[in-house]
Amino acid sequence: MTNLYPKHLAAFRWICLLVFPICLAIPESKAQPTNQPGRSPLKMAPTDALKKIGPELAILKKQQVARQSTATLPAITRHANTSLLQTRGNYVVIEALAENSPAQLLADLQALGMTRPASFGRLVSGLVPIAALDKVAALASLHSARPAYKPFTKIGKTTSQGNKALYTDEARKQQIITGKGSKVGIISDSYNSLGGADAGVRSGDLPGKENPNNFTTPVQVLLDEAADTAPDEGRAMAEIVHDLAPGAELAFYSGNFGEASFAQGILDLQKAGCNIITDDLIYFAEPMFQDGVIAQAIDSVKKAGASYFTAAGNNGSNAYQAAFKSGGVAFFGSKSEFGPVKVKNAHNFAPAGKKKDVTQKIYVPIGATIYITFQYNEPFYSVGDGTSAGAKSDLDIYLLSEDTTNVVAGSARANVGDDPVEVFRFTNDGSYESNYFNLLIDKFEGPGSGPSIIKYIVFKSGSDEISIEEYYNAGSTIFGHSNAAGAITTGAVFFLDSPAYGTSTPVAESFSSVGGTPILFDVNGKPRSRLVRRKPEIMGPDGVNNTFFGDSFLDEFYFFGTSAAAPHAAGVAALMQEANGNALKADQIKTALQQTALNMNEPGFDYETGYGFINAQKAIARVAMPRVLELLLVDADSRKTIQVLQTGDILNLTRLPSRNVYIQARTGPTQVGSVLFNFDETEVTENKTPYLFPGATADFFKLTEGSYTLTAVPYTQANGKGSKGVPLTISFRAVEEKVVRFELYNVSDGAMIQKLAEDDVLDLATLPAQLNIRAVTNPVVVGSVQFNLNGQTTVENINTYDLAGSSGQSIAFKPGDYALTAAIYPYEMARGAAGGTLTVHFRVIDRSLKTQDGQLAVYPNPFSQQAKLRFSVPATQNATLTIYNLNGAEVAVLHRGEARAGQQYEYTWNGGSLPGGWYISRLVTGKTALHQKIRLLK
């Protein structure tokens, strides 16, 4: 953690604000100006073949054609803001609305080359080839399409000051928690587009294989941006979560590929195991008065058990809301490239009783960029089960020069039967002779007197001096999925303005978005009773350090905006889960955060600061339960820890420093009321630390060979009284280290031939050609096994432990006497002290019966199920091969008839149905008989 808190932080805290992918609807325009009465020249002609994909995509397509043909580029590109489109080489990210079947539209778009497709409700998003945009426009399955616009966002080298501001550092120490057991999903622009993730892992700011603090589970990246296309704000968010909850696993999904992809990413993160999800994105085309597809996805994962934290936004109260009020026909734009413009019915901004005024003055200084999303209370076509008919009215919005003689920006989509949303972007480049501009809203089409609510929200970049100069009514700015019922919406407090840094009452960032936007329609677009959700719920810190993102001062980076606040809340939630035993429901987390928050404005909830600033220490204490974190095996003689016990452990008694042991329960918090042990039905209660079985004042117990089960249960009070906490149960075995046996096996098929015991005799005539000997150990896995066969040593480091190695080698046995010893070592290559040892002596012979009259061999011998008998004769003649029992009774005839000279004959004899014992095989030829004794094992 840096100790430097520069005074200039307050000055540049505006620079690193919330990163938002903006769904900007740029002004619709024809390629050529028109002055048809009553219709804005910014609208595409109804007969335009590309009308269904809108002007931005149409212009992009025409620009491509113009470049290829060296023709003149289409006109009116100044107002189209095509630079906001997300292009990837020859592809562009779009959002397409289905006419009837989303599945058919998805299939049609994929047939045209769509990649990274996603579908949610009527909405399909993904990357399509720019060259195919005209074919997209011609699809019968397409209702309309628009671009998914370019993002404009909401314990290591560097540690977030949020640790101190939220008191999470103290809470982690008190409860002994790291967030273990939770997986936090992060949705933002990108994670490793800039390629710095590996350095973050090595510095300890992110989890991964090279993390120096042993948090080695890598971030799971489900979807990311391409190299050098995004600023990796998602990685900065991941650093914040990892600072607060380093034991939590992390996952990431890029939200840059349209609303349907964003919604799918929420579902995919939960499927990947995320019980906590956070994001810092907003699409400008998300509904204000209705739950869109992203909000529905949030509600879905919340219902399934996940906690969802979203950034409130950085728009303060920069909004305008009113009922549409007719101002009649208006003229403007006499100096615009379109020529004079006439609108049908301009909105009258003036209050009742005042002179009509159809424009609203706003201030945009040179170098500043303004983004405006404008909506009205009519249902969206793109949302729901396909029954919504969409908007009934068509309203447009224009930005005019101060004297209204020029159109500098605006949006005039054809909204009827589509979504009631218009969005535009404008940068004051200094060429307009003034920093003052005028907004004009026109009702181009629609029933009655117009919508009862029209609303726009101002997003700004590069300056906080942008302002609405007249008729400003400080409206709500939390909308879209930030207003979802299932989301915990998080506002921002500069970390230096928190009690931990000396401010008695936390102070909200002035840009932190304000709640109060009403929900007026259900998800299918049907009117519902007015619902105003309590947003934001909580406030978190911003302006904190990370390793690379945001503004820098003296090599430190500072991350401002509610984008930084939301991951702080997610990290606290992970700590709360572990403190409770990872059993909390989403509503329990939200309630605890609200009830323990530090109040900021008036007591209770308000739409600016919610329930107040997060107090992680109190929130965690509110839900914490006593937990047994782990069980330790302790040497009773030295009182040193031998190891942490895990279920499935096999304790090697030979290697223990002592068999006189205790088992210690380590709890969170460090001191609880009591711990009840149940060790193989023996119960002991310990009231003081250290919590030991069989008791701190009792004698140790001696660990012997066998299987054990131990349960330790914490309680809030002494003697097992009070509330029961989160128990821990483990089962383990204790074994004496030994070489259990040697096994002779066939290298060709791996089948065991026999156990090799003391004084065994191995007859090569009855055995396969390739043989090996295996040492079976207890425990099954040891450090290494060293073999000594008649003075020759070999070492095997990996189970199975084979004399000739486990890679297909074999032993070249010759007749003679053998001594074989195998010794177990704790480390590879026979390092350390030798442990369990086994020695056997055996003899190898070769009793192949070879005479001038032929030969007969049996293998394996002895056998348990099947034996193979092989014979040959020196000359062609009749031969009979018969099996007899010891009473002389014939058991089986394997061969009867001619046997050709020198040919090998082999038969399998199945003894499965015969009693165990000795049998005789007899090969009879014309001149002699050969016998071989066989033993059947049962």
Taking 90 as the threshold, does the pLDDT of residue 135 lie above it? yes
Residues of the chain with CATH 2.60.40.10: 738-845
Tell how far CA 647 is from the center of its chain: 27
Residues of the chain with CATH 3.40.50.200: 159-315+512-621
Measured distance CA(403)–CA(406) in Å, rounded: 8
Q: Could you write out the DSSP letters of every residue in 124-173?
A: EEEEEEGGGHHHHHT-TTEEEEEE-BPEEE---SS--THHHHTTHHHHHH
Task: Note the pLDDT of residue 70.
Answer: 53
| 110-120: average pLDDT | 95
Element (H, E) at 254: strand 249-254
What are the tokens at 938?
A: 């049962």
Taking 90 as the threshold, does the pLDDT of residue 786 lie above it? yes
Q: Which residues contact 734 (CB under 8 A, 6 or more apart)?
A: 650, 651, 653, 703, 704, 705, 706, 708
Range in 140-154, 338-352, 428-442 the model is least confident about: 140-154
What are the tokens at 877?
A: 């003649």
| 768-777: average pLDDT | 95
Query: 101: how many CB neighbours lie within 10 A of its CB?
Result: 13
Task: Note the pLDDT of residue 698.
Answer: 76
Measured distance CA(723)–CA(862) in Å, rounded: 65
What strands lie across the sheet with 407-411, from one edge to the other? 407-411, 394-401, 436-445, 360-363, 467-468
Mean residue pLDDT of the chain comes to 89
Question: Nearest CA to 619 among 576, 565, 568?
Answer: 576
Q: Could you write out the DSSP letters of every residue in 414-435?
A: --BTS--EEEEEEE--S-SS-S
Quote the radius of gyration of the chain (alpha carbons, Å): 40
Taking 70 as the threshold, does the pLDDT of residue 517 lie above it? yes
What are the tokens at 405?
A: 């003689």
What torsion, rounded to 10 degrees, do the Cα atoms 583, 244, 10, 424 define?
-60
pLDDT per residue over 722-751, tens digit each? 999 999 999 999 999 999 999 999 998 999
b/e per residue, 195-214, with b = 16+ CB within 10 A? Answer: ebbeebbbbbbbbbeebeee
Under CATH, domain 738-845 is a member of which superfamily?
Immunoglobulins (2.60.40.10)
Measured distance CA(759)–CA(763) in Å, rounded: 13
Measured distance CA(850)–CA(582) in Å, rounded: 75
Measured distance CA(438)–CA(808) in Å, rounded: 85
| 469-473: average pLDDT | 93
130 near 58, Cβ under 8 Å?
no
Measured distance CA(192)–CA(190) in Å, rounded: 6
Q: pLDDT-derived band of residue 210, with 50, 70 and 90 as boundaries? A: very high
Taking 60 as the threshold, does the pLDDT of residue 1 lie above it? no
pLDDT per residue over 881-935, tens digit each? 999 998 889 999 999 999 998 888 999 999 989 999 999 999 998 778 888 889 9
The CATH number that domain 319-465 falls under is 2.60.120.380
Range in 301-305, 356-360, 463-467, 770-774 the model is least confident about: 463-467
The CATH number that domain 29-80+87-147 falls under is 3.30.70
Tell me how long the chain is: 938
Distances (CA, A) of 337 to 35, 406, 897: 11, 8, 110
Task: Note the pLDDT of residue 17.
Answer: 40
CB-neighbour burial class of residue 857 (10 A; exposed 0-12, middle 13-18, buried 19+): buried
Q: pLDDT-derived band of residue 338, with 50, 70 and 90 as boundaries? A: confident
State percent of the chain over pLDDT 70: 91
Task: Note the pLDDT of residue 27.
Answer: 35
CB-neighbour burial class of residue 194 (10 A; exposed 0-12, middle 13-18, buried 19+): middle
Give the position of tokens 């329990």. 588
Measured distance CA(688)–CA(672) in Å, rounded: 8
Task: Note the pLDDT of residue 21.
Answer: 37
CB-neighbour burial class of residue 122 (10 A; exposed 0-12, middle 13-18, buried 19+): buried
Task: Note the pLDDT of residue 75.
Answer: 43
The CATH number that domain 159-315+512-621 falls under is 3.40.50.200
The separation between the first and the last C-alpha atoms of the chain, rounded to the nearest angstrom, is: 73
What are the tokens at 435?
A: 């920093």
78 near 90, Cβ under 8 Å?
no
Distances (CA, A) of 595 to 303, 530, 537, 538, 587: 22, 26, 11, 10, 12
| 37-54: average pLDDT | 73
| 66-85: average pLDDT | 55
Residues of the chain with CATH 2.60.40.2550: 849-936
Taking 90 as the threshold, does the pLDDT of residue 628 lie above it? yes
Task: Note the pLDDT of residue 454.
Answer: 97
Name the CATH topology of 849-936. Answer: Immunoglobulin-like (2.60.40)
Q: Which residues contact 609 (CB under 8 A, 6 or more apart)?
A: 491, 506, 508, 512, 536, 539, 600, 601
Range in 405-414, 615-624, 840-849 the model is least confident about: 840-849
Taking 80 as the threshold, does the pLDDT of residue 155 lie above it? no
Side-chain-side CA neighbours of residue 934 (13 Å) = 31
Task: Note the pLDDT of residue 904.
Answer: 86
Q: pLDDT-derived band of residue 42, with 50, 70 and 90 as boundaries? A: low
Element (H, E) at 400: strand 394-401
Task: Note the pLDDT of residue 14.
Answer: 38
DSSP 606: B
Range in 35-49, 65-79, 276-290, 388-402 the model is least confident about: 65-79
65 near 134, Cβ under 8 Å?
no
Name the amino acid, one letter, at 3. N
How do beta strands 487-494 and 307-311 pair?
parallel
Residues of the chain with CATH 3.30.70: 29-80+87-147
Query: 472: how many CB neighbours lie within 10 A of its CB?
Result: 16
Taking 80 as the threshold, does the pLDDT of residue 15 lie above it? no
Range in 434-443, 612-621, 696-705, 905-914 the model is least confident about: 696-705
What are the tokens at 885?
A: 């029992």
836 near 737, Cβ under 8 Å?
yes
What torsion, rounded to 10 degrees, do the Cα atoms 199, 200, 204, 205 define?
170
What are the tokens at 905?
A: 């004959």
Task: Note the pLDDT of residue 553.
Answer: 67
pLDDT per residue over 247-262, tens digit each? 999 999 999 999 999 9
Q: What share of the chain is helix, strand, coil (3-state, %, to 5)?
A: 15, 40, 45
DSSP 831: B
Which of the listed ranges 362-366, 486-490, 541-545, 845-849 does the model predict with the highest average pLDDT? 486-490
User: Does residue 573 sit in helix, strand or coil?
Assistant: helix
149 near 24, Cβ under 8 Å?
yes
Taking 50 as the threshold, does the pLDDT of residue 214 lie above it? yes
pLDDT per residue over 873-883, tens digit each? 888 999 999 99
